[in-house]
Amino acid sequence: MQGILYEEQSLFVFLFVTLILGGAGAWMTGRACARTWKPLRPLLVYLLILSFGVRFIHFSLFGGTLLSLHFWLVDLVVLLVIGITAYRYTLANQMVWQYYWLYERTGAFSWRTKQGFPAGSAKVEL
């Protein structure tokens, strides 16, 4: 697995920098975009910028390769998964909480129009 997901001597460095530090930043970024009703596109730009910061931390503190396309893509994919998960989770909570009379939760990341409302009357474009 070393060499595919991480380049450091220890898995702990990858877990700490990418998953804990970067993942916390990605979660908060996704949450902030959802809470301010931003669409998904700005979140993707913010996570792209965050991935450069995570790669720089690997380089500056732990001697990783700065300009490695492979390891940057690994960091980016991990941050995208965490950030988009936080975005959808927060948006689902927000829709159900703020519009409780109109929507009901159908899962951790989804909602639907409550029974009794016409199907097209409460359509939200994301």
Q: What is the pTM of this model?
A: 0.83
Q: Which of 7, 118, 3 is nearest to 55 (CA)?
A: 7
Scan for tokens 């220890």, then name that residue: 10
Q: What percent of the chain has pLDDT over 70?
A: 85
Q: Which helix (H) or strand (E) holds 36?
A: none
pLDDT at 64: 82
pLDDT at 41: 96
Q: Residue 10, SS3?
A: coil
pLDDT digits (tens, 9 = 90+) for 11-52: 888 899 999 999 999 999 999 999 999 999 999 999 999 999
Domain boundaries, the chain: 11-98
Output phi, psi for 113, to 5 deg.
-70, 135
